[in-house]
Chain A
Amino acid sequence: MSVKDRVIEIVAEQAVLEPSDVTMESTLEDLGIDSLGLVESIFAIEEEFDISIPFNANEPESSEFDISSVTTIIAGIEKLIENTPAA
């Protein structure tokens, strides 16, 4: 499964939606994911890809990790995976 499909699956589960309901343009707000849902999603993504996401819930806009849509989230994760040294 691609990074994109895995992320969509995690986000869909958090939003209690089918993966097919999640589009690349969807924002977390569109999907009904609140602040607790967001930190839970970030945890699930970190677990899934064994990465560490630089995200501070106090200042989401200025975090390095862009959560403005599914597209930016996937792009951020792909970059983190690329920069993570193989274990």
Chain B
Amino acid sequence: MKRVAITGAGTINALGHNVSQTLEAMREGHCGIGPLEMRDVDRLAVQIGAQVSDFSPDTIFNRQQLALYDRFTQFALIAAREALAYSGLEFSGALSAKSGVVLGNSGGGMQTLDENYRTVYEDGKNRVHPFVVPKLMNNAAASHISMEFNLKGPSFTVASACASSNHAMAQAFQMVRSGMAPVMITGGAESMLCFGGVKAWEGLRVMSKDACRPFSATRNGMVQGEGAGVFVFEEMDHAEARGADILAEVVGFAMTSDAADIVMPSRQGASRAISGALEDAGLNREEVGYINAHGTGTAANDKTECSAVADVFGPHADRLMMSSTKSMHGHLIGGTGAVELLACIMALRDGVIAPTIGYEEADPECALDVVPNEAREASIDVALSNAFAFGGLNAVLALRRV
């Protein structure tokens, strides 16, 4: 089996338009959540979100590109450009033929759907732009990355709701580890912050109207975000041979299904995914110093996640740190695990643990060290990233410091 290095990272989200801005914001405990700016916002019951601001796609993409790129594709391409530039890789010949893209995404081109449903239902028009289908399909972002960077190996999109990015990155990891692909571009992107997207989430009554406060006794729901995170997963020997800067090593993963309920999380499903990732990576539980939690800020997720961690880690659960950065960048749904992996890389590489902000009051059902409100310096060797999706689909990744 091959070892797998992360040799590039890129992002755009509510905390920043690149990795350094995002990590700086996480260190500072900055909150990217604010009043939503969109058409008909006054008709929404939930009027907050973590939107990407100061974003002018027409300064980044030309007219023909904009006609084909939904906002989630724009985010994915921006993140991929940063990640590929950092890695220094260019794809030609055999490397190009075997390398590919696996991205997580849940909603596809929701902005495109929203705009065009308006056109035909609200405005009563009988004609839509011919690129609606290639713009809204879930695989559009992965396809455009493959085209821009000449990646001719396996490329596809994984949809498992809030675990999409972790499932995608686990798949990419497996492809590189098995020797199937020397390099895989992976991560996820999402842009559901449009009128229809927020309206749909409102219906489920799990959204907070004021803030995302994971693990706090005063938490009252999740807050949606948007953006993308993209990484370069590269076979370790290949990365070392070319002198690449290695951000971290991916050492294991596990995926489980609750097979129980379409929305309620399961303690057993979560703990099986966490312990499975440790087993796959050959880690002792005492080696884990940090967990980037799924930590949505809902009543159900946070207590279930804490009890699952307690089950797996036993007494060590009281010594490790676990934070939810969703308190800052919101819940990016299919893109969330990708942006959250940045917090794991920062913990391993820079020794800075991102905080759970908005933390107001201890909850006895979430009695772990959730790094409340302020980032912390700590030297750790292993970090986990949790994702537990609607539909009971769980995926946990394990990373090690290099």
A-to-B contact residues, CB < 8 Å? 16, 36, 39-40, 42-43, 46-47, 52
Enumerate chain A residues within 8 angstroms of B67, measured Cβ to Cβ: 40
15 examples of A-B residue contacts, CB within 8 angstroms: A16-B64, A36-B130, A36-B131, A39-B130, A40-B67, A40-B129, A40-B130, A40-B131, A42-B130, A43-B127, A43-B129, A43-B130, A46-B127, A47-B127, A52-B127
Q: How far is the CA of A40 from the CA of B67 in the complex (A)?
A: 10
Which of B64, B127, B130 has the most chain A CB within a 10 Å cutoff? B130
Please name the 8 residue pairs, one residue from A and one from B, whose CB atoms are nearest each other, closest first.
Answer: A39-B130, A43-B130, A40-B130, A43-B129, A46-B127, A40-B67, A40-B131, A43-B127
Which residues 123-164 of B have a CB within 8 angstroms of A?
127, 129-131
Report the interface size for chain B: residues with CB under 8 A from the other chain: 6
Instruction: Considering the complex, give the chain A residue whose CB is closest to the CB of B126.
Output: A52
Enumerate chain B residues within 8 angstroms of A43, measured Cβ to Cβ: 127, 129-130
Enumerate chain B residues within 8 angstroms of A16, measured Cβ to Cβ: 64
Instruction: Count CB-based A-B contacts (< 8 Å).
Output: 15
Q: How far is the CA of A46 from the CA of B129 in the complex (A)?
A: 11
Enumerate chain B residues within 8 angstroms of A42, measured Cβ to Cβ: 130
Q: How far is the CA of A46 from the CA of B127 in the complex (A)?
A: 9
Q: How far is the CB of A70 from chain B (nearest CB, A)?
A: 20
Enumerate chain A residues within 8 angstroms of B64, measured Cβ to Cβ: 16
Q: How far is the CA of A26 from the CA of B67 in the complex (A)?
A: 25
Enumerate chain B residues within 8 angstroms of A52, measured Cβ to Cβ: 127
Q: How far is the CA of A39 from the CA of B130 in the complex (A)?
A: 6
Q: How far is the CA of A43 from the CA of B131 in the complex (A)?
A: 10
As a 0/1 sequence over residues 99 to 131 of chain B, the CB contacts with chain A under 8 angstroms (1 = contact) are 000000000000000000000000000010111
Instruction: Considering the complex, give the chain A residue whose CB is closest to the CB of B125.
Output: A47
Q: How far is the CA of A43 from the CA of B129 in the complex (A)?
A: 7
Instruction: Considering the complex, give the chain A residue whose CB is closest to the CB of B129.
Output: A43
Enumerate chain B residues within 8 angstroms of A47, measured Cβ to Cβ: 127
Q: How far is the CA of A43 from the CA of B127 in the complex (A)?
A: 8
Q: How far is the CA of A39 from the CA of B67 in the complex (A)?
A: 12
Instruction: Considering the complex, give the chain A residue whose CB is closest to the CB of B64.
Output: A16
